[in-house]
Structure 1
Amino acid sequence: MIPRLAPESSADRPALIDAIDGRSLSHARLAERLDREAALWPARKGLALVAAAPRLDRVCRWLSLMRAGHAVMLVPPELTPARLDRLVERYRPDWLLGWPSRPGYADLDAEVQAIERPDPRPLHDDLCLLLSTSGSSGAPRMVRLSRRAVAANATSIAQALALTPQDCVATTLPLSYSYGLSLLHSHLAAGATVVLSGQSVLERGFWDMAGQYGLTFLAGVPFVWQSLRRLDLDALAPASLRFATQAGGRLDPRLIEYFHTLMARRGGGLFTMYGQTEATARMTVLPPDQVPVRLGSVGRPIPGGRITIRDGVVVYGGDNVMMGYGESRNDLGRGDELAGVLDTGDYGRLDGDGYVWLEGRAGRVVKVMGLRLDLDEVQARAALFGSAAALVRGDDLLVLVAGPLPDSTARAAFAAELGLPPVVVRWRQVAAIPWAGNGKIDLAALEALV
């Protein structure tokens, strides 16, 4: 399921560590456990709806399901009862893993419930993983991923980041989020160590744990890096931490430069990445040695991937492209509908060396006074003043900031950077910017604020 790239000599190194109770499994022991547990699942292919908590036993359970050829749908453990009901009704999962007992299901053990009347609609043989493109899994539409896609992306990311068995990463992002899950898969493929932790990087306890286990990689989305910029990361982080990865949205180039410089002083650097759940996780990577000379690029395609530009839109091709979308159990019997080609919906260009430069997302590119603006870029710039979001209201650009508003001089400079007169850039202070579970702004909740 997840190819192993590391030499056999690393089999005794830790694969998974549960930061809550300290239990761990070596790569050899993990493989033995997954084989043993996989043999206990029924032969008929089924679907498990999993509360993707970062705990050792939970992760082993769903990995064993995948190893046995079943499909898993990973969703946040904090999913509301109403949203859980909607998913159960639409997808009729054969097993529920990590949820309270519910009608129509019988307890197999303390963790697993099995459906009492299995749904006769078959699942496609290649189906392996279902992930939501929504951070809250509020929408029923899921991305259907094959075993081949999951394996290909784990291998490509491990190669692109040059991961080794000596590397160690913590689950700083939800495992129900494609970026967070890719940390688990790519590090396991490389024979590296994954520390299962639910702590935030903004908590002191996280950094105590980072020092205890010798983290070498730190993964984040723009919100994480914007928050860490206000802290002394160099003082917080253990000496072992040398590399960082950024994905999940546009980060202001000044912050990219700052964190790359910080990691370079430690002997490493920052990898800037671009991906979508529809491509399992990653599509491109900009290695640290290219950050100083190609600041703002999201890099070149991962091994096995390819990028073309069609009518100004980035088109990705590779084994990690999804089979298609699914909105109910009926859709899970369908095969591959995209043939390995994904229209990303992102505007962009390729330079002469094959590096990708994004120029905005369809639906987030607007015009204000005739000037084309990428709202994600506006948000990235405004984040220097605090957690921020941007919308268009009428003929004006509206910038929401959670925190003190910038003074008139800073507001005028901000407007000038965008090429707009200050009068059309309106500012509003809000209590908080609504963030989804995947580290991106919850646009529906944002609209409700205004």
Structure 2
Amino acid sequence: MIDAVDGRSLSHARLAERLDREAALWPARKGLALVAAAPRLDRVCRWLSLMRAGHAVMLVPPELTPARLDRLIERYCPDWLLGWPSRPGYADLDAEVQAVERPDPRPLHEDLCLLLSTSGSSGAPRMVRLSRRAVAANATSIAQALALTPQDCVATTLPLSYSYGLSLLHSHLAAGATVILSGQSVLERGFWDIAGQYGLTFLAGVPFVWQSLRRLDLDALAPASLRFATQAGGRLDPRLIEYFHTLMARRGGGLFTMYGQTEATARMTVLPPDQVPVRLGSVGRPIPGGHVTIRDGVVVYGGDNVMMGYGESRDDLGRGDELAGVLDTGDYGRLDGDGYVWLEGRAGRVVKVMGLRLDLDEVQARAALFGSAAALVRGDDLLVLVAGPLPDSAARAAFAAELGLPPVVVRWRQVAAIPWAGNGKIDLAALEALV
């Protein structure tokens, strides 16, 4: 594990020794730590040592506002604050850690290991409760599905408080691979300097990342070592999937398309590169140890990586496993004859325009070819918002025709920027406020 800011590194053997040493220093009584999940070596070691010692951690973005931080503290009554300015009711243990002055007597469930926000923004009070078994199972399964080796190297291109971003850390550590802790964007030249210095082999991104990279010369930016890409966190237009897969295939690798939810720790299915040309649009088969069925048109996932349940306050953190390894994803989909999953939209984002059923995520993915874009329905019309120049009349007509709609019901609006949440997904509440 390498800290890109100061160049410090730990081999896997030295990391294990450090975690064992630090784990022994934490109290025996199980507690909860509220962690500012910055991609720095000391911070990551601190929270991994808490998990190793049997404690639970709640990972949230380090840029969380004081008001949102106070809200989480009030609801979950954490025993420790890691990486935050001094707060009332807590005493400094050292420069990084504060301990609560009056510990909450309500016990935590013995299996509880990790709390993550369902949205990735951690402004919402509802958290996903994940067990130690779920975290370990998902890390191992992803490492197997991607065929990771100790020679591989990934960078933290996504927030570590976001399940997809955290899974990069966990799965590569599980495989004995190298993790570069970097807070730089893939759109910054400095990121690619680091990628070349340490021999990046895997690049991970959500649709926004890949849409942005399409406008750059990734082949020229990336070091020769980069051969594989992974995509998750929302639907990406198949044309972009094909483009980046082809680019990576020329480098001797390819693109892994994945599907996951925080409620399943991170990822549930993977489409390997060799299947992209023949199953373009599928999200693949279940990861090792997982299985998928279709119930009333909805994808139902089963596996050890499924959450224990949700938690909205400290009271909920003493509850046990409420799902028994089965997750109703809320996503419409189907299985083909070979067991590959094909998604057909999320319940809340499937709408009808002129009687035609549309998936707004698919509309957004198509519109992203024109720039950063979002889609909403207003009355009987489909509203497409684009940050940047609007497409010309011919392109707009072709876009509507692809959707099966007359151009008159597809309204276009130019906006200064599309609001994005910290996890790389569109902030729907802020989007609604724009219109």
Which TM-score applies when normalising by structure 1? 0.97
Shift of 1:136: 1.7
| Structure 2 residue aligned with 1:166 | 151
3-state SS, counterpart of residue 23 of structure 1: coil
3-state SS, counterpart of residue 25 of structure 1: coil
- Structure 1 CA distance for aligned equivalents of residues 421 and 121 of structure 2: 6
- Structure 1 CA distance for aligned equivalents of residues 58 and 429 of structure 2: 23
In 1, are the aligned partners of 2:164 and 2:233 still within 8 Å (CA)?
A: yes
Deviations 1:37-73 (A, max 9, x none): 0000000000000000000000000000000000000
In 1, are the aligned partners of 2:385 and 2:414 still within 8 Å (CA)?
A: yes
3-state SS, counterpart of residue 401 of structure 2: helix
3-state SS, counterpart of residue 72 of structure 1: strand
Shift of 1:138: 1.2
| Structure 1 residue aligned with 2:135 | 150
- Aligned pair 1:293/2:241, yes or no? no
| Structure 1 residue aligned with 2:218 | 233
- Structure 1 CA distance for aligned equivalents of residues 78 and 295 of structure 2: 38
Shift of 1:429: 0.3
3-state SS, counterpart of residue 381 of structure 1: helix
Deviations 1:213-245 (A, max 9, x none): 000000000000000000000000000000000
Query: Which consecutive residues of structure 2, in runs of 5 or more, have no partner in the other structure?
Result: none
- Structure 1 CA distance for aligned equivalents of residues 121 and 167 of structure 2: 18
Deviations 1:19-43 (A, max 9, x none): 0000000000000000000000000
- Structure 1 CA distance for aligned equivalents of residues 118 and 195 of structure 2: 29
| Structure 2 residue aligned with 1:67 | 52
Query: Which consecutive residues of structure 1, in runs of 5 or more, have no partner in the other structure?
Result: 1-15
| Structure 2 residue aligned with 1:247 | 232
3-state SS, counterpart of residue 212 of structure 1: helix
3-state SS, counterpart of residue 103 of structure 2: coil
Deviations 1:298-345 (A, max 9, x none): 000000000000000000000000000000000000000000000000
- Structure 1 CA distance for aligned equivalents of residues 164 and 34 of structure 2: 19
In 1, are the aligned partners of 2:172 and 2:179 still within 8 Å (CA)?
A: yes
- Structure 2 CA distance for aligned equivalents of residues 134 and 189 of structure 1: 25
Shift of 1:125: 0.1
Residue of structure 2 aligned with 1:177, choices 127, 143, 162: 162
- Structure 2 CA distance for aligned equivalents of residues 438 and 283 of structure 1: 18
3-state SS, counterpart of residue 179 of structure 1: helix
- Structure 2 CA distance for aligned equivalents of residues 351 and 169 of structure 1: 32
- Structure 1 CA distance for aligned equivalents of residues 206 and 115 of structure 2: 22
| Structure 1 residue aligned with 2:317 | 332
- Structure 2 CA distance for aligned equivalents of residues 118 and 354 of structure 1: 49
- Structure 1 CA distance for aligned equivalents of residues 67 and 388 of structure 2: 33
Moved over 2 A (4+): none
Deviations 1:76-116 (A, max 9, x none): 00000000000000000000000000110000000000000
- Structure 1 CA distance for aligned equivalents of residues 65 and 342 of structure 2: 38
Alignment root-mean-square deviation, CA: 0.3
3-state SS, counterpart of residue 201 of structure 1: coil
3-state SS, counterpart of residue 363 of structure 1: helix
Shift of 1:165: 0.1
3-state SS, counterpart of residue 348 of structure 2: coil
- Structure 2 CA distance for aligned equivalents of residues 86 and 449 of structure 1: 26
- Structure 1 CA distance for aligned equivalents of residues 66 and 359 of structure 2: 36
- Structure 1 CA distance for aligned equivalents of residues 87 and 264 of structure 2: 33
In 1, are the aligned partners of 2:353 and 2:380 still within 8 Å (CA)?
A: yes
Which TM-score applies when normalising by structure 2? 1.00
| Structure 2 residue aligned with 1:437 | 422
In 1, are the aligned partners of 2:270 and 2:285 still within 8 Å (CA)?
A: yes
3-state SS, counterpart of residue 346 of structure 1: strand
Shift of 1:137: 1.1
In 1, are the aligned partners of 2:206 and 2:232 still within 8 Å (CA)?
A: yes
| Structure 1 residue aligned with 2:293 | 308
- Structure 1 CA distance for aligned equivalents of residues 94 and 291 of structure 2: 45
- Structure 2 CA distance for aligned equivalents of residues 272 and 443 of structure 1: 24
- Structure 2 CA distance for aligned equivalents of residues 68 and 114 of structure 1: 16
- Structure 2 CA distance for aligned equivalents of residues 437 and 277 of structure 1: 14
- Structure 1 CA distance for aligned equivalents of residues 280 and 321 of structure 2: 36
- Structure 2 CA distance for aligned equivalents of residues 345 and 440 of structure 1: 17
- Aligned pair 1:389/2:374, yes or no? yes
Residue of structure 2 aligned with 1:199, choices 184, 203, 215: 184
| Structure 2 residue aligned with 1:122 | 107
3-state SS, counterpart of residue 49 of structure 1: strand
- Aligned pair 1:276/2:261, yes or no? yes
- State the percentage of identical aligned residues: 97
- Aligned pair 1:319/2:304, yes or no? yes
Deviations 1:158-184 (A, max 9, x none): 000000000000000000000000000
- Aligned pair 1:30/2:15, yes or no? yes
Shift of 1:133: 1.2
- Structure 2 CA distance for aligned equivalents of residues 158 and 275 of structure 1: 15
Moved more, 135-144 or 213-222: 135-144
- Structure 2 CA distance for aligned equivalents of residues 386 and 181 of structure 1: 28
In 1, are the aligned partners of 2:61 and 2:121 still within 8 Å (CA)?
A: yes
- Structure 2 CA distance for aligned equivalents of residues 137 and 406 of structure 1: 35
- Structure 1 CA distance for aligned equivalents of residues 217 and 26 of structure 2: 48
Shift of 1:135: 2.6
- Aligned pair 1:52/2:37, yes or no? yes
In 1, are the aligned partners of 2:120 and 2:163 still within 8 Å (CA)?
A: no
